[in-house]
Amino acid sequence: MKASEVLKKNIEILSRHTVKEDSFVPGSHAPLPAIDAVKDIVSLTKTIIFTDYFYKRQPEEEIRQYYIGVNVESLYSLLKEQIARGLLFNSDADESLTPKRAADLALAFIDRLPEVKRLLYTDVEAMFDNDPAANNYGEVIFCYPVVNAMTHYRIAHELHKLSIPVLPRIITELAHSKTGIDIHPGATIGDHFSIDHGTGVVIGETAIIGSHVTLYQGVTLGAKSFKYDADGNMVNCPRHPILEDHVTVYSNSSILGRITIGHHSVVGGNIWLTHSIPPHSKILQSKAIDASFTGGLGI
> Model confidence over 154-207: pLDDT tens digits?
999 999 999 999 999 999 999 999 999 999 999 999 999 999 999 999 999 999
Model pLDDT for residues 41-98, shown as the tens digit of each residue: 999 999 999 988 877 677 778 888 988 999 999 999 999 999 999 999 877 778 889 9
Segment 13-41 mean pLDDT: 89
Where b means 16+ CB within 10 Å and e means fewer, 271-296 reads: bebeeebeeeeebeeeeeeeeeeeee
pTM for this predicted structure: 0.90
Cβ neighbours around 161 below 10 Å, total: 15
Q: Percentage of residues in the chain with pLDDT exceeding 70?
A: 95
Q: Percentage of residues in the chain with pLDDT exceeding 90?
A: 77
Secondary structure of residue 168 in the 3-state scheme: helix
Cα separation, 75 vs 109, in Å, equals 10
